[in-house]
Structure 1
Amino acid sequence: MAKLTLPSRRNLQSAALSLLLLLGLLAIWHVATLPEAGVAAKLTPDQIEYQKLLGKDPGETKAGGFPTLGQMGEAMVRHLSEPFYDNGPNDRGIGIQLGHSLMRVALGFALAALLAVPLGFVIGMSPLIYRALDPFIQLLKPISPLAWMPIALYTIKDSSISGIFVIFICSVWPMLINTAFGVANVRREWLNVARTLEVRPLRKAFEVILPAAAPTILTGMRISMSIAWLVIVAAEMLVGGTGIGYFVWNEWNNLSLPNVIFAILMIGFVGMLLDLMFSRLQKLVTYAE
């Protein structure tokens, strides 16, 4: 039988530790939400009414009304067993809501890449243009993307397109800055060789500069995607209609805490998959020296 290598052993140990931490958190959750007899006597009339609105029996639950693991399991099974149902504007499956959010993120991110990557190339290759544009970049970069939402709604007058615009704004800056940094820091030796061989500028850009700067560009894209996924949830809470952010807000208005927690977990899971995708791409374009 082949022995486990050191990296494999470490991976198994880290996986076992993660599993133990998960089981510990679930155990704490279970203990914290155990039914407590006679709790109704400790509740105020307003709290009792609130528990009833949540569909809970005030005499068998804790005062906080936090969902149990069983209730969370029921919510997960219900949503995952039929993720694409559509019963009207305020009753759509989690798959449809995630699809709307991912579509907005993809469109805004793609538009940002079409602007940021070529402009980053120009800035990175020209110190003069860098110095000319740097004040504008430093002024606009710290502005919260959500601060643009009122202007977008006023000018565009469409909530869905306004959400795409907000994703575009928040995705531009990490890609632009990282692309310019990567291009500006390509090894001088490689550029000197290209100059010696009289490589044409367009060929030099695609065959020398782009491969050298690709890891840094992908880093900017990875950061942009993480920010975009964070921002779309808040943007959809503001504009409503569809999307995972709207789903969270709508379920909160319906006093359905298990659905809110389930949506939060789905946001984290999808965000992890998006980050993993860009991490894989980054490794593909990174050359070991």
Structure 2
Amino acid sequence: MAVSPIPVNKKPYAVKIMTLAVSPKAVARRSLAQWLSSLAGHVLPPLITLAFLMVFWEIICSSPTASVPPPSRVVSETWELIIHPFYVGQGVDQGLFWHILASLKRVAFGYCLAAIAGIALGTLVGQSDWAMRGLDPIFQVLRTVPPLAWLPLSLAAFKDGNPSAIFVIFITAIWPIIINTAVGIRNIPQDYQNVAKVLRLNQFEYFTKIMIPAAAPYIFTGLRIGIGLSWLAIVAAEMLIGGVGIGFFIWDAWNSSRISDIILALIYVGIVGYLLDRAIAFLAKTVTRNTASA
């Protein structure tokens, strides 16, 4: 018995590929969700840690015999300082904003002088073997002197507290800038120097187009260390020179037994110091195109 073959459709099945159009609203929602997820990943861990520390601090300092007030008492006792940072009174009776601003002005002036002098001296030491042999031992000795040890000498020289504090900032910040700049100059690849010779760049062109860009990550590392040391030094220096400034505010609060005021001021000092470091880090990433570490 003959079996008839099953007819086979030689035409392939038509497969229709549908392109799903994604609406702009869906894209926006997805981007917002990704941003919120990234924000939560960066913000939630420090917030949880901070909440844990606040609870721990509240528990251990709630005893009537505790010498340090708990967070709840710090807030209640410093509420007027918190809500009135721009208060202007007589003499040193100022809001915390003005104390911090006065300290920042001193830091800015001394730090800028240190940056200019430090980069110049670091470039000289990095380029010249004679300068390295002559200046490096002196720098290594002077940089070990504690910042506040310079204050009596600066007071004797300037006869005034404000320039003395600026000098302390300058002498504190300049050493890491010099050292890191010199290291950066000495680590410039030989290929860069060969390119400069081929292009016949003069000294100024070599300095601006080869040397500074190549050493920029090292320079900004020194600048970041310098700004942190500057902020540390000004708080200590202002405790001794007096006048308007966050350091004097802390010392005055101690003399008046206002421990809560000291704690609030320390919180502000930490926040401002962090912001200064982040500002220099952002500038470094912008100038060096992300070659400097953040």
TM-score by length of structure 1 reads: 0.84
CA distance in 2: counterparts of 1:261 and 1:21, whole angstroms: 19
> In structure 2, how many angstroms separate the alpha carbons of the residues matched to 1:237 and 1:183?
38
State the partner residue of 2:179: 177
Residues 33-182 of structure 1 mapped to structure 2, 5 A cutoff: 33-34=61-62, 62-182=64-184
Q: CA deviation at 1:191?
A: 1.2
Give the CA deviation at 1:138. Answer: 1.3
CA drift at 1:142: 0.5
C-alpha separation between the residues in 1 aligned to 2:70 and 2:142? 45
Quickly say closer, same or farther: Cα 1:288–1:18, change in 2 above 3 A.
closer
Per the alignment, residue 53 of structure 1 pairs with none
**Unpaired stretches in structure 2, ≥5 consecutive residues:** 1-28
1:3-18 equivalences under 5 Å are 12-18=40-46
Q: How many residues align?
A: 262
Residue 31 in structure 1 maps to residue 59 in structure 2 = yes
For residues 290 and 257 of structure 2, the distance between their equivalents in structure 1, rounded to whole angstroms, comes to 53
Match of 1:246 in 2: 248
State the alpha-carbon separation in 2 of the partners of residues 14 and 280 from structure 1. Answer: 17
Name structure 1 gaps, 5 residues minimum. Answer: 37-61
> Offset of 1:287 from its aligned partner?
4.1
With over 3 angstroms needed to count, the CA separation of the structure-2 counterparts of 1:175 and 1:80, relative to structure 1, is same
Which one is further off, 171-180 or 77-86? 77-86
Q: RMSD of the alignment, in Å?
A: 2.0
Which residue number in structure 2 is paired with residue 59 of structure 1?
Answer: none
Displacement of 1:214 after TM fit?
1.0
Tell me how far 1:263 sits from its aligned partner: 0.1
Contact 1:75/1:262, CA 8 A, preserved across alignment: no
- What do the CA deviations read for 1:115-149 (whole angstroms, capped 9, x no partner)? 11112111111122111111111111111111111
Cα separation, 1, equivalents of 2:39 and 2:188: 34
Q: TM-score, normalised by structure 2?
A: 0.83
Residue 228 of structure 2: which of 223, 226, 229 is its match?
226
The one-character-per-residue Cα deviations of 1:148-178 (angstroms, maximum 9, x if unpaired) are 1111111111011100010010011011111
- Which whole-Å CA distance do the structure 2 matches of 1:9 and 1:188 have between them? 45
**Comparing 62-71 and 113-122, the one that deviates more:** 62-71
Which deviations, in whole Å up to 9, do the C-alpha atoms of 1:212-266 show, x marking residues without a partner?
1111111101100000100111101111112100000101111111111000000
Equivalents in 1 of 2:252, 2:92: separation in Å? 8
Between the aligned partners of 2:102 and 2:248, the Cα distance in structure 1 is 10
Measure the CA separation in 1 of the matches of 2:70 and 2:128: 59
Q: CA deviation at 1:271?
A: 0.1
Indicate the residue corresponding to 1:210 in structure 2.
212
